[in-house]
């Protein structure tokens, strides 16, 4: 093969990333051949420090520079509302809304029997422990995706939380993210299930 090893190695690395195929990997690599060495150095350093300079929050399992993470350490956040998400990326999306004042719990995935991800594989045990240790808990929001695996995970967790609720004089709420039309969407392009959920979730106006 005519490719220099250094080029092939970087193509191989890019190809490992999700959503990047051989053509894109080659395109990115050849693009980088024409960037200043300073950018390559900074890129490499960012890769090397990614895990070195971050840790997992021992309370919510978010990615953070500190433990506990800034959200768990923030006195102004309501520790009695826990929003359960699949991954740290979801926290960023929710924080961008600026409309959530509770704390989070990162599952680190969803139950997926096809990929051998059982309930033990994700941080459900840790969530139940957190719930058990908080007698003042007001609400758990199940904010995993609305696909099949997300729904299955939400149902599984709901059952576990409902059991815990039976032991409480003051049970906490278990909620799920609202479903319906995305903002800006036209009805004609919405699928039937989304329209059905939008009808079920209609509000007085």
- Applying CB under 8 A, which residues contact a second copy? 2-7, 9-10, 12-13, 16-20, 24, 26-33, 35, 37, 39-54, 63-65, 69-71, 87-89, 91-92, 95
Give min distance, CB of 15 to a second copy, in A. 11
Q: Fill in the DSSP letter of residue 134.
A: -
What's the burial of 104, exposed, middle or buried (CB within 10 Å: 0-12/13-18/19+)? buried
Tokens for 21? 């195929």
Assess contact for 61 and 123: CB atoms under 8 A: yes
Residue whose CB is less far from a second copy, 22 or 135? 22
Give min distance, CB of 186 to a second copy, in A. 23
Residue whose CB is less far from a second copy, 45 or 163? 45
Give min distance, CB of 112 to a second copy, in A. 15
Assess contact for 62 and 104: CB atoms under 8 A: yes
**Cα 145 off chain centre by:** 9
Residue whose CB is less far from a second copy, 85 or 131? 85
Residue whose CB is less far from a second copy, 95 or 163? 95
Cα angle for residues 137, 108, 79 (degrees, 5° grid): 20
Runs of H (alpha helix) within 60-147: 70-73, 88-97, 124-132
Residue whose CB is less far from a second copy, 77 or 197? 77
Give min distance, CB of 111 to a second copy, in A. 17
Nearest residue to 77 via CA among 89, 67, 69: 69
Give min distance, CB of 69 to a second copy, in A. 8
Tokens for 78? 């309501």
């Amino acid at each position: 093969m005519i490719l220099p090893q250094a080029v092939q190695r970087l193509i191989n690395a890019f190809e490992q990333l999700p959503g990047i195929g051989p053509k894109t990997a080659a395109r990115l690599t050849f693009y980088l051949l024409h960037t200043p060495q300073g950018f390559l150095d900074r890129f490499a350093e960012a890769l090397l420090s990614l895990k070195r300079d971050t840790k997992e929050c021992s309370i919510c399992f978010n990615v953070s520079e500190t433990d506990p993470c800034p959200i768990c350490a923030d006195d102004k956040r309501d520790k009695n509302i826990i929003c359960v998400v699949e991954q740290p990326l979801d926290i960023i999306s929710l924080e961008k809304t600026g409309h959530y004042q509770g704390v989070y719990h990162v599952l680190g995935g969803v139950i997926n029997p096809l990929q051998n991800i059982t309930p033990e594989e994700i941080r459900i045990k840790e969530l139940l422990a957190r719930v058990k240790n908080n007698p003042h808990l007001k609400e758990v929001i199940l904010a995993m995706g609305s696909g099949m695996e997300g729904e299955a995970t939400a149902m599984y967790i709901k059952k576990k939380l409902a059991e815990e609720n039976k032991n409480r004089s003051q049970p906490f709420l278990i909620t799920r993210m609202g479903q319906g039309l995305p903002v800006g969407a036209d009805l004609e392009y919405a699928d039937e299930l989304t329209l059905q959920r939008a009808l079920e979730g209609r509000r007085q106006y």
